[in-house]
Structure 1
Amino acid sequence: MKIINILLVLMLQLCVHTGIAQNQAAGYSIRGIISDSASHNALTFITVNLIKSPATVLKVDYSKADGSFSFAGLESGSYTLAVVGVGYKTTRITVELPDSSQKAGDLGNIPLMPDLVGLKEVVVKASKQIVKQEIDRITYDMQADPENKVFNALEMMRKVPLLSVDADNNVYLKGNADFRILINGKPSSMMERNYRDILRSMPASSIERIEVITTPPAKYDAEGLAGIINIITRKPVDNGYSGTVNVSERFPVGGPGVGGTVSAKFNKLGMTLMTGGNQYRIPSIRTMSERATRGQDPTYLTQNGTNRSTNYSGYLGYEISYEFDTLNLISAQFNINGSQARGFVSQNSLLMADSGLLEQYGLANTSRDLGRGMDAAFNYQRSAKVNKNQLLTFSYRYFGYSNNQKGQIDITERINVNLPDYRQVNNQQFSEQTLQVDYVYPIKKLNVEAGLKAIMRDNRSDFQFESFVTAANAFDPDPFRSNRFTNTQNVFGAYNTYQYTFKKWGLKAGARIEQTFVKADFVSTGSRVNQNYVNVIPSLSINRKLKNNAGFNFGYTQRIQRPGIYQLNPFVDRSNPSFERSGNPVLRPAFVNDFQLGFSTSKKVSLNIGLGYTHLRDMIMAVAVFNPQTNITRLTFGNTGRARLFMLMLNSNYSINKNWNLSLNSRVAHGRVFGVVDGQAVSNQGFMYQANLSTGYKLAKGWRVNGNLNVVGPNINIQGTTNSIVSSSLSVSKDMFNYKLALSAAVNNPFTQFRNAYRETFGPNFNQVDLRRDYFRSFTVSLNYKFGKLKEAIKKNKRGIRNDDVQTDN
């Protein structure tokens, strides 16, 4: 805490001294914010020329990440601003600075119009840039992709640079499953509990863009080894109302779904509603597991079975803002979500040894999973009179969710099996409160940000194991396999970030300091765990702008992975008697050092190339250990790994002609993992790759056809690997009623009905193979409707709470 206090004093002194120096500076100034007239997004590195006479350019500035620019130290008189950007019309603005006490000329928002090319009576609009490289992130414009009306958000992530989706609908950022997902720059309970359910429910048409923040600045919490995925939902553009609704059906895997957004603005009051829900059913599929052990008494286990499941999920998010005047703004948000899943597993198990049959049984597992989540936040933002970009923000947020799991296991056809029928109940609860203060202070071409934050978390788990007693014809609790677990985690942090723009260079650097207090208590057994650690997290991003809308980016950051309740919870899942799974309450945080170098250009061909090196230590990894005394394989988590990863990324978009486009999103990496499993050193290495090739052709009368080919290579971990996946899709859509209504149909994997998902796991004394035969071919039909018209963008706080520092259960 002393370190945090010292840092806070230094930040306040910096702001005070800088403010005094600025007040003492004489002269006039001009400032403004540049944005896209269509999307209202801030435009970065737009050239602003300050002209005193028709042939004299006095100064040149470039817009920052928030679109702002400024000129200071000017004399009174008449000036002209020439705003120039590739793909936009040049805008000229006359500014008068009279000889008076009003020395600051604030131009407010300056919208740039996309460049239009006239051809007789036809107006052809330039192709909208789908992928954009910014100083610390890559942005994918979802509205520029015609397939946003066909697929959901999860399916569209295959096209986003650095993202991939495997056969189990797990999302990976740079091949890593440890990342954070934000909605409009803020955490949401919708993404904390189970992001897959929500992304399947969320139509891509309701998303404006997806930002992949590869080098998160210090203002973000340090969690998320791979980075942050920020989903920006569609924003209202005019005074009034607007919205989009999507209805879809998918079969035989999946089900009906509906989702959309509605926004409205009435003078100073703005509101946005986002909602959706779907059913996701998996018909009966076949599974198989084989395990061969080594040692004095080798064994061979074979399990064959089937499983089916049905999941219902839904979400609702609401935001409201009110602008009292040009200096004071308040906003609030409220999100709720829920899901209910039911599943059934039927399985036959056979355990053999050289001497013959050791064990045999049949198993039926009926499970139920009920989850709920909610969060609410309030923000107050105050702008300075002298400079509207000077902001002070106070924020509060409450967030909580629960997961209640219940399973009943019935055992039949027993041979050498004394285990009774049993039930498992695991009730998990998570709550979090956050207080945050942010301060933004622009000084000419330098933008200074500082903030303080406190997060108080409370994790709870009550798990029960009940054995069936035949004599009593009832289930009896087993106290030796039951427990109550509590875990509190308090994080106190401070950050300081500096962003500087000079000619064609952009620099963003900062540091974050966090102190964490962890307490774990096993209520039933009376044992406790206490941890206390301090981390300093640096970040650095550099951008060099070149000619022809090209540029280089370099980024370095250090990130933390703190274990979440799913990894900490010591609950032992015994739904399969031969395989157990549990958390580890004594886990420590993991760390990563990440270096990224990128090049981007956007002419007729939009090209993004990236090189990366990642080094991880104290990795939180799933570790499988076989116990020859019980013939059970136990999977748990440990800080057992370290790894290094080299990566090459290539993303390209090419317009062959005005109707035909082609895009490629690809990544190849070589990883090596080291660790200790069951007291023995283990290592694994290999190449990992992904590629998504997409093409679309625009036909007459609003028709469009699209095709996708997706390849995801094996996933390498410390004890095994998975097989690769090759998938394809074809879609057709029809726009009607002036592009307000769209009908779409798609077929996924038309040439393959089933796919075998293969996973291999090895340990010092065993080898295991798991096989699952999934439905691969599916069909989708959807209807997308856009309505309303607005004239003025809804204002939101430019700063708010972002809790990005806890590993989810994904």
Structure 2
Amino acid sequence: MSLHSFKFKALFLFFSFFVGQVYAQQNGSIRGQIVDEAKDGLEFVAVSLLKLPDSSFVEHAETAANGRFQFPSVAAGEYVIKTNYIGYNEEKRNVTVKVGANENLGVINLSVDSKLLQEVVVEREAPAVQYELDRTVFNITSDVQAMSVNATEVLEQIPMVELDEEGTPSVMGQNLTVLIDGRPSRIYGDNIETVLKLIPSGVIAKVEVITSPSARYTTEQGGIVLNIVTKSERLIGVSGIATMNATTNNNYSPSLNLNITRKKIGFNNSVSFDFDKQTSESSIYRENRVDDLFFTDQQRTGTDIDKDFSYNGNLFYNVNDNNTIGIFFGVGKDTEDENEVLLTRSYNAEGEDISAYRRAINGTEESWQYRGGIDYKRTFENENQVLDLQAYYSTRDDKEIEIFDQESEWEELEHLQHQTSVSEDEGFTFQGDYVHPFGEKSMLEAGIRADWETDANDFTPLEFDPELGDYVIDTELLNDFVSKEKEFTGYLMYRNSFDRFSLQAGARLEKAILKTEQELLNQSYENNFLNLIPTLNLAYRLKNEDNIKFSYSRRVNRPWWRQLNPFVDYSNPEDIQSGNPDLDPEFINSFEASYGKFINQFNLFGSVFYRHSNNPIQRVSTVDGSGVTHTTYQNIGTENYYGLETGASADIIPQWNVRLNVGLRKNEVLGFARENSQISFTGRFSTFFPIWAGFRGYAFVRYRGPRAIAQGKMKGMLISDAGIRKSFFDKKANFSVRISDIFNQRQFSRTLEQENFFQTSDYRRQSRYVSFSISYIFGGLRDSAGDRDRGDGFDQGPGGMEPGMED
């Protein structure tokens, strides 16, 4: 295409759209499917379209997950199709394209190159970023895996994803529904921070950020879905990966993943441990603008010791070519020892002390989680016709004991308290999904889902009575809370492609019944929700293969039991917290438009989005006449989020890649006495580059700008990491060293301001440390069609949490 015609197209995009359709009618198309010797579709096969008679290059494509490829607009003439996939012999096919004709090459079988297979490790990786109709897929490269310990550190590398001070992820300031291989993360544990720490980076294949979820996805805790997809082994044999990570701040994380696969049966195991000794410090300064102006100053220091363990097993059996049964089971244990000191001082405008105390907090928490489930998957004569049935169960037992020893010169402020909290949670889910294709490009997808979940919490507070010389129960704070939730949903979704245009439209009907009971107070609450949730995703591929997308989704964020529990937490006497059983669901409408451009090894992506939240669930604080803050959840006002996100990535040379993402955002929180809005920038820069003697360098800088929150603002933050890595023993072993938060800037700071108070708070964990990681790949694999030994090389990695099955 000439420079003049390119400029003309850029300036008159819509005009050229219609003109292009006229010319497109004169072109034909070529499509086909590439499979291995076991008739399984091969993904990421490079397919080249060459013009005869001189075999000049015309166009390039890569196969999808099912091995299919397509050249949608090809001028009439004689061509040759050539494949290139490491470990397999090259295949060529001649094809004649007639005016307006659609040529189907059918199935192309690739045979294994036995000589090459014995000599090399398959190193071909998926593109780092893929932009699909309803999601952005970040394929986790070997560089990212080597420089990360667990899923938490992998998510730090993902543009759009942000982590708060506890390690809970969010996207564009919005809460997420986090899935692991398509399953809700709650199955693996109630604390998402712990769940993410126990997923080794080496088993993560990709992370899907679904900003406009289709009707297939339920809306558990937010309008955006984050799906962490682990690796599934496709080849026969015994393989695995052993990893050991250690840091200078006393964190040790060994893990082992073992995959045993035969022709019809496979058994995958994943065992992870984590020992983490973490120091932290926080502060709160508050101006109490009540009857008389006075000030509260709190300083907290502490040490947490976390000891976590997780085992996940998967057993699957291929009954025949069309039927697979899988069993999933696991167990986890989390233990936390907490030791903190809270210093509190209140003083008047003249600087004279009103009160002061020292509060020592010692706590232990232990929880066990058990999970299990069964999958059945059936494919029909048309491989795109699929029935998938799943049922899984999870339960958790948790016991927490805390002792508060408060000392003060003011005798009335001296307390010795002891409290016990016992929780029991269990949930059961059944889900069925069916996909029915209509021809090559259209399909109808339908599904049902039923969830039953029960959460129970018993809280027993005791206060030491000096006169009795023993603890007595504080009956005013006793709590016995039970939450029972039932959810029944059904969805229908249609997908189709018309030449360069793609459509995905659907609707989901959700019926949720939530009952809560507080037996001690003889109180019960019931919320009954019925919501219709439409979704729409559109995409158009220009003739130069650039992509334009538009998405709309309506989601519902329902309150969960911890937000509804009216239990009053007095662990900090200056900030009393409780839930609100009268909460209503939050409705979120999201719009997004994006443009993607690809030029050889360079790609550019940009998107604009708008999100409106009606009746959002906000964390709200008020101050009483004595200067004590009361924090709870309320449905207040509206929230608007506007944004422009741009990103570029390129391979400067084959071993040097660079990725840059920049965002301009504005968010508004409306409905409070003081309404908040904030415009800010966000940015991330990462690069992996060769150094010497096979070493690779790593640099990562991320900046999160300030953001408006309910009643105030969250301050910005800049973090920088650097490291090196090297592979040994024919890439069986990987060793890396990483320095995290080089300039020690990882601090979470908030400012809250309303009519009767002004408050600033800061929280910091030890984030500057050096981490060391070594991993070793072991085992030998054979191709599923024969007995060729793969040695140590395998392209799909060891077994993950859901082997042998697609989501």
Residue 185 of structure 1 aligns with which residue?
A: 182
Aligned pair in 2 of structure 1 residues 773, 378: CA closer, same or farther (>3 Å)? closer
Whole-angstrom distance in 2 between the partners of 1:544 and 1:165:
33
Residue 715 of structure 2 aligns with which residue?
A: 723
Q: Give, in angstroms, the shift of residue 585 of structure 1.
A: 1.9
- Within the alignment, does 1:483 sit opposite 2:479 as a pair? yes
Aligned to 1:524, what secondary structure does the other structure show? helix
Residue 605 of structure 1 aligns with which residue?
A: 602
Residue 100 of structure 1 aligns with which residue?
A: none
- Within the alignment, does 1:387 sit opposite 2:382 as a pair? yes
- Could you tell me which amino acid in structure 2 is paired with residue 508 of structure 1? Q
Q: Give, in angstroms, the shift of residue 490 of structure 1.
A: 0.7
Residue 435 of structure 2 aligns with which residue?
A: 440
Whole-angstrom distance in 1 between the partners of 2:125 and 2:431:
41
- Could you tell me which amino acid in structure 2 is paired with residue 337 of structure 1? G
Residue 760 of structure 1 aligns with which residue?
A: 751
Whole-angstrom distance in 1 between the partners of 2:703 and 2:531:
38
Whole-angstrom distance in 2 between the partners of 1:190 and 1:702:
41
Whole-angstrom distance in 1 between the partners of 2:750 and 2:45:
47
Residue 316 of structure 2 aligns with which residue?
A: 321
- Could you tell me which amino acid in structure 2 is paired with residue 387 of structure 1? N
Residue 588 of structure 2 aligns with which residue?
A: 592
Q: Indicate which of 421, 425, 428 corresponds to 1:430.
A: 425
Residue 238 of structure 1 aligns with which residue?
A: 235
Aligned to 2:521, what secondary structure does the other structure show? coil
Aligned pair in 2 of structure 1 residues 452, 45: CA closer, same or farther (>3 Å)? farther
- Within the alignment, does 1:527 sit opposite 2:527 as a pair? no
Maintained 8 Å contact 1:202/1:260: no
Maintained 8 Å contact 2:460/2:478: yes
Residue 163 of structure 1 aligns with which residue?
A: 161
CA offset digits 1:24-77 (Å, max 9, x no partner) = xxxxxx99755799xx9876999999xxxxxxxxxxx99888666899xxxxxx
Identical aligned residues as a percent: 24
Residues 147-156 or 322-331, more deviating: 147-156
Q: Indicate which of 741, 750, 770 corresponds to 1:779.
A: 770
Whole-angstrom distance in 2 between the partners of 1:620 and 1:44:
43
Q: Give, in angstroms, the shift of residue 151 of structure 1.
A: 4.0
Maintained 8 Å contact 2:232/2:804: no
- Could you tell me which amino acid in structure 2 is paired with residue 684 of structure 1? N
- Within the alignment, does 1:501 sit opposite 2:492 as a pair? no
Whole-angstrom distance in 2 between the partners of 1:548 and 1:144:
30
Q: Indicate which of 684, 691, 703 corresponds to 2:683.
A: 691
Residue 261 of structure 2 aligns with which residue?
A: 265
- Could you tell me which amino acid in structure 1 is paired with residue 687 of structure 2? T
Whole-angstrom distance in 2 between the partners of 1:228 and 1:41:
27
Q: Which ranges of structure 2 fall in alignment gaps of 5 or more residues? A: 1-29, 50-60, 72-78, 96-103, 785-795
Whole-angstrom distance in 1 between the partners of 2:632 and 2:730:
56
Residue 670 of structure 1 aligns with which residue?
A: 666
Aligned to 1:421, what secondary structure does the other structure show? strand
Maintained 8 Å contact 1:140/1:161: no
Aligned pair in 2 of structure 1 residues 31, 308: CA closer, same or farther (>3 Å)? same
Residue 510 of structure 1 aligns with which residue?
A: 506
Residues 184-193 or 490-499, more deviating: 184-193
Q: Which ranges of structure 1 fall in alignment gaps of 5 or more residues? A: 1-29, 50-60, 72-79, 96-103, 117-121, 801-810
Residue 3 of structure 2 aligns with which residue?
A: none
- Could you tell me which amino acid in structure 1 is paired with residue 750 of structure 2? R
Q: Give, in angstroms, the shift of residue 124 of structure 1.
A: 13
Maintained 8 Å contact 1:142/1:205: no
Residue 469 of structure 1 aligns with which residue?
A: 465
Aligned pair in 2 of structure 1 residues 524, 242: CA closer, same or farther (>3 Å)? same
Q: Give, in angstroms, the shift of residue 709 of structure 1.
A: 1.4
Aligned pair in 2 of structure 1 residues 716, 536: CA closer, same or farther (>3 Å)? same
Aligned to 2:202, what secondary structure does the other structure show? helix
- Could you tell me which amino acid in structure 1 is paired with residue 169 of structure 2? V
Maintained 8 Å contact 1:148/1:156: no
Q: Indicate which of 749, 764, 770 corresponds to 2:761.
A: 770
- Within the alignment, does 1:330 sit opposite 2:328 as a pair? no
Root mean square deviation of aligned Cα: 3.7
Aligned to 1:199, what secondary structure does the other structure show? helix
Whole-angstrom distance in 2 between the partners of 1:567 and 1:272:
37
- Within the alignment, does 1:541 sit opposite 2:537 as a pair? yes
Aligned to 1:296, what secondary structure does the other structure show? coil
Residue 307 of structure 1 aligns with which residue?
A: 302
Residue 554 of structure 1 aligns with which residue?
A: 550
CA offset digits 1:147-179 (Å, max 9, x no partner) = 534443212322213212345533221222x11
CA offset digits 1:311-370 (Å, max 9, x no partner) = 111212111211111232211111322211111111222222358543222211111222
Residue 402 of structure 2 aligns with which residue?
A: 407
Aligned pair in 2 of structure 1 residues 560, 33: CA closer, same or farther (>3 Å)? farther
Aligned to 2:730, what secondary structure does the other structure show? coil
Aligned pair in 2 of structure 1 residues 489, 46: CA closer, same or farther (>3 Å)? farther
Residues 268-277 or 386-395, more deviating: 386-395
- Could you tell me which amino acid in structure 1 is paired with residue 170 of structure 2? Y
Q: Indicate which of 279, 287, 292 corresponds to 1:292.
A: 287
- Within the alignment, does 1:370 sit opposite 2:360 as a pair? no
Q: Indicate which of 702, 717, 730 corresponds to 2:694.
A: 702
Aligned pair in 2 of structure 1 residues 531, 304: CA closer, same or farther (>3 Å)? closer
Residue 99 of structure 2 aligns with which residue?
A: none
Maintained 8 Å contact 1:235/1:263: no
Residue 449 of structure 1 aligns with which residue?
A: 445
Q: Indicate which of 739, 743, 755 corresponds to 2:731.
A: 739
Aligned to 2:235, what secondary structure does the other structure show? coil
Residues 142-151 or 442-451, more deviating: 142-151
Q: Give, in angstroms, the shift of residue 136 of structure 1.
A: 1.0
Maintained 8 Å contact 1:148/1:203: no
Structure 1 length normalisation: TM-score? Answer: 0.82
Aligned pair in 2 of structure 1 residues 797, 168: CA closer, same or farther (>3 Å)? closer
Residue 621 of structure 1 aligns with which residue?
A: 618
Whole-angstrom distance in 1 between the partners of 2:35 and 2:699:
33
Q: Give, in angstroms, the shift of residue 482 of structure 1.
A: 0.6
Structure 2 length normalisation: TM-score? Answer: 0.83
Q: Give, in angstroms, the shift of residue 298 of structure 1.
A: 2.2
CA offset digits 1:596-643 (Å, max 9, x no partner) = 111223322122212111111121111111111x43211111112411
CA offset digits 1:230-254 (Å, max 9, x no partner) = 11112223111222222111122x5
Aligned to 1:157, what secondary structure does the other structure show? helix
Residue 135 of structure 1 aligns with which residue?
A: 133
Aligned pair in 2 of structure 1 residues 505, 442: CA closer, same or farther (>3 Å)? same
Residue 250 of structure 1 aligns with which residue?
A: 247
Whole-angstrom distance in 1 between the partners of 2:545 and 2:84:
9
- Could you tell me which amino acid in structure 1 is paired with residue 454 of structure 2? D
Aligned to 1:472, what secondary structure does the other structure show? coil
Aligned pair in 2 of structure 1 residues 460, 66: CA closer, same or farther (>3 Å)? farther
Q: Give, in angstroms, the shift of residue 105 of structure 1.
A: 11
Maintained 8 Å contact 1:149/1:203: no
Q: Give, in angstroms, the shift of residue 419 of structure 1.
A: 5.9
Maintained 8 Å contact 1:147/1:706: no
Maintained 8 Å contact 2:33/2:106: no
Q: Give, in angstroms, the shift of residue 548 of structure 1.
A: 4.8
- Could you tell me which amino acid in structure 2 is paired with residue 208 of structure 1? A
Maintained 8 Å contact 1:219/1:451: yes
Aligned pair in 2 of structure 1 residues 68, 111: CA closer, same or farther (>3 Å)? farther
Whole-angstrom distance in 2 between the partners of 1:41 and 1:478:
65
Whole-angstrom distance in 2 between the partners of 1:617 and 1:715:
19
CA offset digits 1:182-239 (Å, max 9, x no partner) = 2222224465512222323333222111111122111111334241111111222311
Q: Give, in angstroms, the shift of residue 506 of structure 1.
A: 1.8
CA offset digits 1:438-470 (Å, max 9, x no partner) = 221111021111112211111211112211111
Whole-angstrom distance in 1 between the partners of 2:428 and 2:168:
28
